[in-house]
Amino acid sequence: MNVPLVIPYVDHREEEIVLDVLRSGWFAHGPRNKEFEADWAKKFGVKHAISMNSCASTLHVAIQASGITGEVILPSFTFVASANAIITAGASPVFADIDPKTGNIDPKSIESLITDKTEAIMPVHWAGQVADMTAIMAIAQKYSLKVIEDSAETIGGTHHGKLGGTWGIGCYSFYQGKNMTTAEGGMFTTDDDVVAEKARIIMGHGISKTTLDRHEGKAQPWIRSAVMSGYNFRMSNLHAAIGVVQLSKLDEMNSKRQANSEYYFQGLKDVEGVQLPYIEEGNQHVWQMFTIQVSKDKRDDLVNYLRDQGIGASVHFDPPVHLMKPYMNVKGADNLPVTNEVYKRLMTLPMFPHLTREQMDFVIEHIKKFMNV
């Protein structure tokens, strides 16, 4: 049996809307972007939603549009894009440790790293669970810090009823393994009018009007005058069209992920040597990934064994960012005891909405076999 790590959940609805865009002749950033952004803003209760070509781009824009040039505290236990965005936008990363139970940034570690150079906190909501935003926002308010949420892995997850990505500036990923996908893409959200205006200019070559805006405005649509140096971080009309459909299915897909996670819990709860995920009280987990922990001496062998059986097991994240060459000397990199322990024990099991019980039984059976249960 073949059990992939992830398969996007698409059907005729995505096919039909993509064909509609292809037939329209408008492929670049256009009408479907506006629709996608409006739908997102409504569903997530934010004032501004801006579609971009990746979550990495949204993170970069969040730093630059916020005028951040000092230190940004984030976990090292994340994908390298989080730290890359801070560097490329002209700020400095500082690594905090994580909570050993949730894998999310530890608020106590954050506060211990704050200096007069600190300007922002970048919590990374890991694997489908929102970080402790109650504590993080209290710290941010205490020290007058900005908050940029890397919510790439937690689209639809909540902390005490409030959605991840809506506490500060929200940055989301639509890569194919996420809770919803546009193949590649990201969404930037904020309630700040000034930050939103800057973000739109930065992501569109430094030009204040998009091609669609100029086209719809009719008057001299060929005028493309930049007001600052910028980038091309735009999402295409094709990708946005997929996003429109995927967003309409988000609750359904997350519900299926939650049902699948419960099945894994039931199947693995009595397996000695397997530590199951921890859900913080007050959180709604949306299971972008389903991870387990085993002993360091068994982790790699178990991952390889499952892969040999046709099961798409993986590891997120090994190595953590502070062990990568460009980031070894970053402030905080020498004091991450929990991160240094957890990353050696964690592994990721297949998780996607239409994962079948038969496939999960196959995964559970082989974990038990390896663990001699």
How much is the pLDDT for 96? 99
CATH number of the domain at 12-250, out of 3.40.640.10, 3.30.750.24, 3.40.50.150, 3.30.70.100?
3.40.640.10
- Asked if 12-250 and 251-370 have one fold, the answer is no
How much is the pLDDT for 22? 97
Which listed residue (146, 178, 198, 209) is catalytic?
Answer: 178
- Do strands 162-163 and 158-159 pair parallel, antiparallel, or not at all (unpaired)? antiparallel
Question: Which pTM does this prediction carry?
Answer: 0.96
Exposure string over 190-228, b if 16+ CB within 10 A, otherwise e? bebeebbebbbbbbbbebebbbbebeeeeeeeeeeeeee
Residue 288 CA: distances (Å) to CA of 6, 11, 130: 10, 20, 11
Residue 71 CA: distances (Å) to CA of 64, 67, 92: 13, 12, 5
- Do strands 71-75 and 186-190 pair parallel, antiparallel, or not at all (unpaired)? unpaired
Q: Where are the domains of the chain?
A: 12-250, 251-370
Residue type, 59: L
Asked whether the beta carbons of 172 and 125 are under 8 A apart, the reply is no
- State the DSSP code for 277: P
Q: How many CA atoms lie within 13 A of 172 on its CB side?
A: 31
What does each of the 373 residues of the chain score in pLDDT, given as a tens digit? 999 999 999 999 999 999 999 999 999 999 999 999 999 999 999 999 999 999 999 999 999 999 999 999 999 999 999 999 999 999 999 999 999 999 999 999 999 999 999 999 999 999 999 999 999 999 999 999 999 999 999 999 999 999 999 999 999 999 999 999 999 999 999 999 999 999 999 999 999 876 566 556 655 677 778 889 999 999 999 999 999 999 999 999 999 999 999 999 999 999 999 999 999 999 999 999 999 999 999 999 999 999 999 999 999 999 999 999 999 999 999 999 999 999 999 999 999 999 999 999 999 999 999 999 6
User: CA 127, CA 101: separation in Å to the nearest integer?
Assistant: 13
User: CA 132, CA 246: separation in Å to the nearest integer?
Assistant: 27
- State the DSSP code for 120: E
Task: Determine whether 178 is an active site residue.
Answer: yes
Sheet architecture: strand order including 71-75: 48-52, 186-190, 169-173, 146-150, 118-121, 71-75, 92-96
Look up the CATH number of domain 251-370: 3.90.1150.10
